């Protein structure tokens, strides 16, 4: 049931109709300082206005979705004029409508207006957040698969992997395949719905979150959304911004930078071969050092848009510990087959890093193969020894 908001009668005046105007679903008539008679007029008794209002409702209900917009403060506008305000409910994906209309709008006409607004709002969110709605409405999910899907929906598409490690551990490959078809990605650091990282989805998500918080003026929201829209893979954090906003639009704060979570997975994909490398048995991947640690490569810095100092903080935030190695030490360990790589890495000191901390232990407990666990645990044991 929609809430409604009506204006006071003395906002509805019909004298001098040539100076009157509609704004959205409200009617305003001009009132001069000397015109006191209008105080006693009620528009409900004015046949011309009733006809005009009926025509406006007909036009409103026939309008295409393109005639409506939804602003970042939750105001629904029709041809640029406010007609409704969104408010939160217990279901974050289904906000309620507060109709902004005159008391003149009643009965069947009001019901038609509300129905048209509901169709637009439903269309807006189901389009912008289609992957979340598909995940919520999927009838092929059950058990742990459904549990994870609903957790993702409740958290607007992004979950730190460590928070759902046990649930993920209980998923078989068939269940994972079903979720992947629905857009779920199983990353090293996050379980997330790939579609929510798009700017349109991020705008819808931050609006729904703001409605729940009842705070529409979020400092930094427009700036962070602009960075996402511009394709920024990482950005320097602003301490005056609410850190939750970074998370909502798909960034993780690491040190002084916020890094997009899908880029963190690309970083993990670059690190993993270096940590799994078997010296003397396999070709040496970029960044590999001894099969137990790795050094930062230009490719890693490039995808994150970060420098050496940034990388040290980012890797520390992910659970790695830096052990400085001079270029001379590093040169001694590299074979002649990587001479081209040597030329790149001996220009300055690159930190060799080992993976430590509880976050990786959580990941190891999830779904990696026994061989992967053995290699990762070896790295941890090596550091702790």
For residues 71, 77, 83, 85, the Cα torsion angle rounded to the nearest 10 degrees is -10
Which residues make Cβ contacts (< 8 Å) with residue 94, sequence separation at least 6? none
pLDDT, position 356: 47
Which residues make Cβ contacts (< 8 Å) with residue 213, sequence separation at least 6? none
Sheet arrangement for strand 190-193: 158-160, 190-193, 184-186
DSSP letter at 218 equals -
pLDDT, position 330: 59
Distance CA 44, CA 302 (A): 66
Q: What is the pTM of this model?
A: 0.76
- The answer to whether 237 and 276 are in contact (CB under 8 A) is no
Distance CA 195, CA 168 (A): 20
- The answer to whether 144 and 165 are in contact (CB under 8 A) is no
183-187, long-range: CB < 8 A, 24+ apart: 183/131, 183/134, 183/135, 184/135, 184/148, 184/149, 184/152, 185/262, 185/265, 186/161, 186/367, 187/161, 187/261, 187/262, 187/264, 187/265, 187/268
Distance CA 197, CA 183 (A): 11
Distance CA 260, CA 304 (A): 9
Give Rg (Cα) of the chain.
Answer: 29
Q: What is the pLDDT along the chain (385 residues), one digit of tens a residue?
A: 444 444 333 333 334 445 577 888 888 876 544 444 444 444 445 677 778 888 999 999 999 999 999 999 999 999 999 999 999 999 999 999 999 998 888 899 999 999 999 999 999 999 999 999 999 999 989 999 999 999 999 999 999 999 999 999 999 999 999 999 999 999 999 999 999 999 999 999 999 999 998 776 688 999 999 999 999 999 999 999 999 999 999 999 999 999 999 999 999 999 999 888 888 788 888 888 778 888 888 999 999 999 888 988 998 888 888 777 666 665 665 554 454 444 444 444 444 454 444 444 444 444 444 433 332 222 322 333 2
Q: How far is CA 5 from CA 88, 205, 271, in A?
A: 16, 26, 57
Q: Report which of 65, 68, 49, 57 is spatially closest to residue 110, judged by C-alpha positions.
A: 57
Helix (H, G, I), strand (E, B) or coil at 205: helix
DSSP per-residue letters across 241-290: S-HHHHHHTTEEEETTEEEEHHHHHHHHHHHHHHHH--TTTSPPPTTBSS
Distance CA 120, CA 80 (A): 15
């Amino acid at each position: 049931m929609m809430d409604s908001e009506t204006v006071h009668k003395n906002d509805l005046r019909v004298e001098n109709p040539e100076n009157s105007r509609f704004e959205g679903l409200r009617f305003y008539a001009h009132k001069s300082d000397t015109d006191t008679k209008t105080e006693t007029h009620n528009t409900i008794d004015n046949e011309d206005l009733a006809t005009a209002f009926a025509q406006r409702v007909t036009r409103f209900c026939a309008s295409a979705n393109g005639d409506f917009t939804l602003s970042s403060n939750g105001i629904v506008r029709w041809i640029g004029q406010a007609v409704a305000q969104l408010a939160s409910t217990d279901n974050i994906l289904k906000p309620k409508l507060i109709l902004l209309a005159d008391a003149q709008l009643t009965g069947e006409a009001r019901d038609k207006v509300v129905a048209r607004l509901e169709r637009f709002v439903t269309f807006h969110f189901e389009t912008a957040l289609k992957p979340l709605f598909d995940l919520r409405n999927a009838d092929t999910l059950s058990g742990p698969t459904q549990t994870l899907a609903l957790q993702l929906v409740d958290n607007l598409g992004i979950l730190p992997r460590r928070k759902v490690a046990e649930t993920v551990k209980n998923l078989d490959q068939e269940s994972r395949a079903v979720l992947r078809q629905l857009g779920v990605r199983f990353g090293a650091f996050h379980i997330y719905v790939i579609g929510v990282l798009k700017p349109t989805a991020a705008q819808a998500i931050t609006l729904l979150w703001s409605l729940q918080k009842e705070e529409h003026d979020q400092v930094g929201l427009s700036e962070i959304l602009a960075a996402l829209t511009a394709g920024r893979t990482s950005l320097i954090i602003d301490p005056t911004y609410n850190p939750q906003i970074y998370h909502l639009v798909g960034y993780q704060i690491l040190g002084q930078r916020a890094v997009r979570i899908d880029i963190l997975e690309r970083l993990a994909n670059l690190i993993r071969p270096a940590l799994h490398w078997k010296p003397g048995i396999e070709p040496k991947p970029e960044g590999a050092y001894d099969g137990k640690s790795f050094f930062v490569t230009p490719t890693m810095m490039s995808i994150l848009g970060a420098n050496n100092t940034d990388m040290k903080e980012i890797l520390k935030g992910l659970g790695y510990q830096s052990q400085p190695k001079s270029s001379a030490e590093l040169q001694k360990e590299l074979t002649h087959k990587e001479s081209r790589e040597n030329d790149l890495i001996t220009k300055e000191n690159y930190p060799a890093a080992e993976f430590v901390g509880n976050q990786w232990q959580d990941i190891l407990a999830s779904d990696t193969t026994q061989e992967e666990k053995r290699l990762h645990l070896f790295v941890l044991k090596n550091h702790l020894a």
